[in-house]
Structure 1
Amino acid sequence: MKKLGLSILSALVLASAVQAAPVRSNLAATENVETFITLETAGVAPGQTVWAALTQNIRPHWHTYWINPGDSGIPTEIKWTLPEGWKADAITWPAPSRFAIGPLVNFGYADQVHLLVPLTVPATATPGQSVTLDAKVDWLVCEDICIPESADLSINIPVVAGSAAPVEPDAAALFSQARASLPVPSPFPAILSPGDKTHRLTLSAPGLDRGKISDAFFFPHDYKVAASNEPQPLVINSQGLSLSLASGGPLPPAPITGVLTFTEELDGQKLHHAFAVAAAIGPASAAVPGEAEQTSWAMALLLALLGGAVLNLMPCVFPVLSMKALALMQHGPGHARQHGVAYTAGVLTCFAVVAGALLALRAGGAAIGWGFQLQDPLVVAILAYVMLLLGLSLSGVFTLGGSVMGVGQGLAGRDGLAGSFFTGVLATVVATPCTAPFMGTALGYAITQSWPVALSVFLALGLGMALPFLALSFSPALLRRLPRPGLWMERVKQALAFPLYASAAWLVWVLSIQAGPAALATVLAGMVVLAFAAWVYGQTRLSGGLGRTLGSVLALLAVGGAVAGATTAAPVAAPAPASGTDTAGSADYEPWSEARVAELRGQGKPVFVNFTAAWCVTCLVNERTSLSTDTVKQALKDKGVTYLKGDWTNRDATIARVLESHGRSGVPLYLLYLPGKLEPVILPQILTEGIVLDALSAT
């Protein structure tokens, strides 16, 4: 009896296990692939749509093929033999991978793949009956060689009463894994812009972090859209991402469908995404914005070196030329090399500090760019004070003794090495807000790289700026041509104070735009107090005893009061004025916004955009000489071009992202949008009237 009881119990357990097992076909095993079909439900109801999964376990290092197999191969095919009225739809394909075999690249699957197929049961199916589903599966499996294989699979399934058969619990894990491998519908609008040899796929996905997106690749369903074995350069900007696709042949009708895969780094982990993309056909492809960023480290260093050297010729540097000229005359040939090295060290130190602050703030999420220091009203106010004090010192109102060497006038006007060092520091602080030719590409490259690479590019930029002065200090032949020191140098020193006064006036004007009339009044009062402090110090410095002490204390209190006033008034930045930064006051323009650009372009109108700032002297010179002339204004009117101005005097995250999207980290930036062209024409950073007119002639 015990044996009989155990036998009955074993039979019941076995029957229960068989009944609970997923409904599967027979297993077909070749030398390279094991294949079987699983149904998601334990039965089917009349009129129900159920899912079947064709599973292939693939031999290691071998692969089967996607619907577009790439340069060679054949996609897996299922030929169903079904009862009358049943219907099998097309395979729902998982996201593929790439397999390089010599010069060829194939698209497909390795290790294991689940191909999902929806099966529709006719409403006339009879509950209580069992039906047989047959499938002949053909595939090509490859490593170094390719072998066509096939399998005949059969599966029995009961028809049950009701509206839908329940999901089989033991099959749930397999179908969950299968659906996880499917591309999800892309949430981003996509446009494919055709070209003769290269197409461009653009996804409107604002907010992507270019430093965290990698390995992007578009798998088109139609092989003619893109050559399988060609790279797809990725560009990410404030509007989204773009891929350049080497044409594989004539484009199929729209929409262009496929799968976009990429890797995203989040919280130290790498996540792999796959989006099902349906792209509309857009305007003909132009140069991809930001492709200049696809440059090498060595090229970025060279461009930075050249850009730094050209920076000496930019209007941004004019306010500090007096300090450099005075230093050159004061330091005779005997010590010129030491002072050249000290000046270069000051420039490099300041570049490193500014670049480090820029990279740290950007890493913290701040949308800022090159020249960000002059977007802070307090920094502008302090610089105005420094320029005023240096000018007063050169005018002879006061001089500093050796005990405070390296401060104030000692920072830029003394014979010591500290004077040359801080001349380089001040020159850099005032000169860096604008970008010179070659700088744009180098800076755009730098801010997307790791800290060591980025700092090396910024230091190359600083070396380029210091290089002319450094080369002159190491050239005995040129130094011998300098006039001998004499009393005339005192007159020259006093004359060179006036460019510094002009710098102070310019900085005060910038402050008035940034922080408004109240801050302007406070800082102007502070400048009067500073002038009084300098005069008191100059009058009492050579006095003895109590007079000298009282003079120094009074001067320090006055300086402290001026700085305190700037600290309380300057940080309160007012919105950018409606009048923008156009000092010419004659050019007609509208305030820039992304919405306004989109509206005008949607109407098929040409648009000229000027990104500028009050603290960018180059911008102001370009506006005065090249954008506000009667000839240019008439050309804009005749061509129907709408002139928009983006004011970056105060920090603006939206403008910062637009600058970055065009490979720039600072102003000026000039964009001309032409009808029918997806991307704008980028004009040079140094404009002439002729350059502007030539660009407008293309509209």
Structure 2
Amino acid sequence: MSKLFLPAALALTVLASSAAPAALVAGPAVATENVESRLTLETEGAAPGQQVWVALTQKIRPHWHTYWLNPGDSGIATSIGWTLPAGWQAGDINWPAPERFPIGPLVNFGYKDTVHLLVPLTLPADAKPGAPVTLTAAVDWLVCEDICIPESATLTLDVPVLHGAAKPAAEAAALFTEARASLPVPSPYPVRLVPGEKQHKLVIQAPELAQGKIRDAFFFPDDFKTAASNAAQPMQLDGQGLTLALTPGGALPAGPAKGVLTFVEELDGKPLRHAFAISADTGAGAAAAPAAAVLDAAAKETAGTSLAGAILLALLGGMILNLMPCVFPVLSMKAMALISHGPGHARQHGLVYTAGVLACFAAIAGALLALRAGGAAIGWGFQLQDPLVVSILAYVMLLLGLSLSGVFNIGTSAMGVGQGLASKGGLAGSFFTGVLATVVATPCTAPFMGTALGYAITQPWYAAMAVFLSLGLGMALPFLALTFSPALLRRMPRPGLWMDRVKQALAFPLYASAAWLVWVLSVQAGPDTVAAVLAGMVAVAFAGWLYGVTRQSGTGWRVGGGLVALALVVASVLGAGRTAVNAAPAALAASSGPAKNYEAFSEARLDELRGQNKPVFVNFTAAWCVTCLVNERTSLSTDTVKAAMKQKGITYLKGDWTNRDAKIARILESHGRSGVPLYLLYLPGAAEPLVLPQLLTEGTVLEAMAPIQG
């Protein structure tokens, strides 16, 4: 009897296991203060070459909400960064139909309570069955009630790789049924969008809807420019179907208007919410042919830029930075200081100078990326938007100029700025020069830099840092190449009296830089700050003179003179900082009128002009941007360009980024730039603007405007 029982028991076990429902594959839940997140697989596993579905489920704190693809008037869409084995691919998020969340005058789009975000996952055909494979998802979201809190979680999911196609997991069926029920379905009705100056019309051709009880219709656009988030969408039902009146949120994007149309239908006395994914033909005409010769091809679309391409552009841009007026005197002084060194010593100075440049670029990039990660809308040159930093730079330029003029010497070498900071032949002076050259280069934007830095700020920190360091390496390369080339060093002129004359001449570009920085302060913080900084410059100049005259005296005089000089410099910095904090900025483009050929930029004014189908030229600039000022003098303010703009009816808008402006920062980023200058020319009928190069000529501007008929 027992011999028969054992095989029977084994058979029953096999039958039971074959009939058992597939096991649930889910990762551990991770809870933040306001959201609990978890990954779940729809199937019991995955087979090589198979596509399976993963759900990111978020349980949101009551009365709080997260955000949709287009968050509306404010907010940030939830994002998922996947870490997958080689060959595995994760697709885009399939977004459920959103809800509206009015907050004062603003309206946001997003989700409350519980939301399931579905993502397709595809295995490579050569995936090896066996032990489970761990997937990692770095999830970031913004959760809001009366306040908004950025949150994140790192989620994991162990996916078994099976020999055969994976079956659905019974325990996951309800979750995925609910998730798919929340997705918009393709619209069964023809839809078109009729553009208008002040109002678009979304027309849904569905006569059967006219017979039903339809209410609460709303169109959620993928692109916020298609329809203003906080504007009502009046609905009209007639025999042809449903029409919604949309208030434009900006210039109508190119291509079909995509989004989600929702409405509530009363069926048997019960409300049923419908959600349709639509792609509406806008009927917009093709834009006029662009003036290809003036397009900055690299900056036209940073989405097409690879990391290798961005690094190359950064190297080229960094080399060009050496020709900028603030950087060139510093580099020239350092180059002349090499004359007294042998080749071996020169190479040491070249390497240490490069280390100083890279260290300073890494510090600036680290601060920029950290502040952006914290939600600050800033870009390249952000530190110059602080009047205190500008004041300090003005003092530094003045002191360097005084040193070159012979008022005092920093170190024993006549040309070695910073050479007295350390021994070992002044190697620390070379490091300091690299740092200084980087600091004074930040007001400048060279060709190729815009695309490289615009790409960098959209990438993970390690890729962004690689681009910034490449920019620094490019800036250091000319000097580094000089120090590693004995032939070039031998061609350098012999030391002599001429070096003192050149040194004194190089002081004047630094004085000019200091004067320009004071003008920047007048724009940033007004006349009171300028007065404080000018007084501080007198004190700083006296401190430099006092430091110089006491160097040849006894120890007591040297120490006393040095302390007094230091106290004067510190007091000057503190005085400038205190005044700058309390000052009211005077915007560069704040005024417009008959005496000026431009208006102050605003998104509302741009939208108004675009709605009237008028040509518009937009100049995003800053008082501290050297490249911007040169372009304005040589290419945008000439009589020829002014006359051409007037004859063609072009409205010139100027956006001032001298002080921090989050709206302008977002516009710069939307065009793949991390800083100014940015020049946009909107042609009549064109969906997207022409992006002009960062270095302009009068001919470049006129050629760009040529397609516009006056």
TM-score by structure 1 length?
Answer: 0.62
Deviations 1:96-130 (A, max 9, x none): 98798999xxxxxxxxxxxxxxxxxxxxxxxxxxx
| Equivalent of 1:595 in 604, 607, 614 | 604
Q: Quick one: distance in 1 between partners of 2:179 and 2:565? A: 76
Where does residue 299 of structure 1 map in the other structure? 309
Q: State how far apart, in whole Å, the 2-side matches of 1:608 and 1:511 are.
A: 27
Query: CA–CA distance in 1 between the matches of 2:595 and 2:369?
Result: 38
Letter in 2 for 1:644: L
Rounded to whole Å, the distance in 2 between the matches of 1:591 and 1:413 is: 53
Q: Deviations along 1:199-219, whole A, 9 cap, x unmatched?
A: xx983238xxxxxxxxxxxxx
- Aligned partners of 1:352 and 1:458 also within 8 Å: yes
- Report how far residue 275 of structure 1 moved: 7.2
Contact kept, 8 Å, 1:204 with 1:241, in 2: the verdict is no
Further displaced range: 530-539 or 678-687:
530-539
Residue 382 of structure 2 corresponds to residue 372 of structure 1 = yes
The aligned counterpart of 1:331 is: 338
Shift of 1:282: 5.0
Q: Who is 2:563 aligned against?
A: 553
Among 223, 228, 243, which residue is 1:204 paired with? 223
**Displacement, 1:402?**
7.2
Residue matched to 1:662: 671
C-alpha deviation, 1:553, in angstroms = 2.8
> What CA distance in whole angstroms lies between the structure 2 residues aligned with 1:663 and 1:291?
7
How much does 1:175 deviate? 11
Partner of 2:572: 562
Instruction: Quote the residue 1:220 is aligned against.
Output: none
Residues 310 and 408 of structure 1: CA distance in aligned 2, closer, same or farther (over 3 Å): closer
Alpha-carbon distance change, 469 to 284 in structure 1, aligned in 2, over 3 angstroms = farther
Q: Does 1:508 align with 2:509?
A: no
1:332-351 pair list within 5 angstroms:
332=339, 334=342, 335-351=345-361
> SS of 1:277's equivalent?
strand
CA distance in 2, matches of 1:564, 1:190: 62
Residue from 481, 492, 497 that aligns with 2:507: 497
Aligned amino acid, residue 591 of structure 1? A
2:168 is the counterpart of 1:182: no
Change (3 A) 1:575 1:618: same
Alpha-carbon deviation of 1:545? 4.3
Match of 1:678 in 2: 687
Deviation at 1:295, TM superposition (A): 2.4
- CA distance in 2: counterparts of 1:97 and 1:627, whole angstroms: 49
Give the corresponding residue for 1:464. 474
Cα deviations across residues 671-695 of structure 1 (Å, max 9, x unaligned)?
A: 0001111110000001000000001
Question: 1:412-452 deviations in whole A, cap 9, x for unaligned?
Answer: 99961222211111111121233222212211111111111
Name the structure 1 match of 2:656. 647
Gap regions ≥5 residues in structure 1: 1-56, 65-93, 104-143, 146-172, 194-200, 207-237, 245-253, 261-273
Q: How far apart, in 2, do the equivalents of 1:459 and 1:504 lie?
A: 27
Deviations for 1:269-295, whole angstroms, at most 9, x for unmatched residues?
A: xxxxx9733535153567999732232
Residue 698 of structure 1 corresponds to which residue in structure 2?
707
Instruction: State the alpha-carbon separation in 1 of the partners of residues 515 and 422 from structure 2.
Output: 19
Task: Tell me which of 627, 632, 643 is aligned to 1:623.
Answer: 632
**1:390 counterpart (393, 396, 400):** 400
Report the Cα offset of residue 620 of structure 1. Answer: 0.5
**Cα separation, 1, equivalents of 2:180 and 2:639:** 63
Q: Distance in 2 between matches of 1:519 and 1:571?
A: 9
Distance (Å, rounded) in 2 between the aligned partners of 1:356 and 1:630: 43
The runs of 5 or more residues in structure 2 that have no matched partner are 1-42, 53-115, 126-163, 166-172, 196-219, 226-248, 263-274, 291-296
Aligned match of 2:456 = 446
Cα distance in 1 for partners of 2:257, 2:382 equals 43
Shift, 1:63, TM fit: 10
- The structural deviation recorded for 1:190 is 10
- Structure 2 length as normaliser, TM-score? 0.61
Q: Distance in 2 between matches of 1:101 and 1:409?
A: 60
Is 1:321 matched up with 2:331?
no
- Could you say which residue in structure 2 is the equivalent of 1:354? 364
Task: State the distance in 1 between where 2:572 and 2:117 align.
Answer: 65
- 1:295/1:399 Cα in 2 relative to 1: closer, same or farther (>3 Å)? same
2:587 maps to 1:574: no
In the alignment, which residue of structure 2 is the partner of 1:29? none
1:469 shift after superposition? 1.3
Distance 1:644 1:241, change over 3 A: closer
Matched AA of 2:404: L
Q: Match of 2:526, SS?
A: helix
Structure 1 counterpart of 2:539: 529
1:312 is matched with which residue? 322
Length, aligned pairs only: 485
After TM superposition, the structure 1 stretch with the greater mean CA deviation from structure 2, 441-450 or 538-547, is 538-547
In the superposition, relative to structure 1, how do residues 425 and 282 fare at CA in structure 2: closer, same or farther (>3 Å)?
farther
1:182 to 1:511, Cα distance in 2 relative to 1, 3 A: same
Kindly indicate whether the alpha-carbon contact (under 8 Å) linking 1:593 and 1:646 is maintained by their aligned counterparts in 2: yes
Report what 1:161 is aligned to: none
Once the two structures are TM-superposed, the CA of residue 581 in structure 1 deviates from its matched residue by 11
Q: Summarize deviations over 1:606-654 as a string: whole Å, max 9, x none.
A: 0000000111111101000100111101110111100000010001100
Letter in 2 for 1:182: S
Write the deviation string for residues 586-608 of structure 1: whole angstroms up to 9, x where unpaired: 75000001111100000010000
Q: Distance in 2 between matches of 1:536 and 1:59?
A: 78
Give the secondary-structure state (helix, strand or coil) at the position aligned to 1:331: helix
- Tell me how far 1:240 sits from its aligned partner: 12
| Greater Rg by CA | 1
> Does structure 1 residue 611 correspond to structure 2 residue 620?
yes
**1:533 aligned counterpart, secondary structure:** helix
Taking structure 1 as reference, are residues 674 and 242 closer, same or farther at Cα in structure 2, changes over 3 Å only? closer
| Alpha-carbon spacing, 1:359–1:545, altered in 2? closer, same or farther (3 Å) | closer
Q: What root-mean-square deviation, in Å, do the aligned CA atoms of Structure 1 and Structure 2 show? A: 4.5
Mapped contact 2:286–2:685 kept (Cα < 8 A): no
1:472-506 alpha-carbon deviations (Å, 9 max, x no partner): 22111111111111232122212211111111111
CA contact (8 A) 1:587 1:633 kept: no
Report the Cα distance in structure 1 between the residues aligned to 2:510 and 2:604, rounded to whole angstroms.
Answer: 41
8 Å Cα contact 1:576/1:649 also seen in 2: no
